[in-house]
Amino acid sequence: RVELAKVLSAKNIVVDPQNKSGKSNTKVNKVTKIKVCFTIRENSVAEAGTKDVYLRIIRPDEVVLPSGNGETFEFKSEQVIYSAKRQLEYENKDIDMCIFWDKNADLIPGAYTVILYAEGYEVGSATFTQK
């Protein structure tokens, strides 16, 4: 139970597909980056310090959009591909942050899922639709 209490969680997850001008866009042929903003919640039991937050963006056909080099991280004893990663300095308080994925794979119309991970746990998810 103590281990579960230490798990970070994310709230207010907002996904913003953007065109080359940085404006929101839902058309797959116009999107050049996907911005995912969220708040890592305050957790007085979690250890403070540097944390890696991983983002996975999953297309409607279940394909994970890869990072530039197709890097992976360990989740449930498996190596899984992530879309983007960012470090944060966690100080046991709410912290707002954004992670960007620069388009390097084809987008297709439909419903996408974004999942955030930290310290070996899924910390939040959201969905968005592209036309």
- Tell me if 7 sits within 8 A of 121, measured CB to CB: yes
- Sorted by sequence, the CB contacts under 8 Å of residue 12 that are 6+ apart come out as 37, 38, 39
Phi, psi torsion values for 31, nearest 5 degrees: -75, 130
Quote the pTM value: 0.94
Q: Mean pLDDT across the stretch 1-9?
A: 78
pLDDT of res. 69: 85
Helix (DSSP H) and strand (DSSP E) numbers for the chain: 1, 10
Q: Mean pLDDT across the stretch 64-87?
A: 94
Q: Which of 5, 84, 79 is nearest to 42 (CA)?
A: 5
pLDDT of res. 3: 67
User: Which pLDDT tens digit goes with each residue over 85-113?
Assistant: 999 999 999 999 999 999 999 999 999 99
The residue with tokens 């794979």 is 105
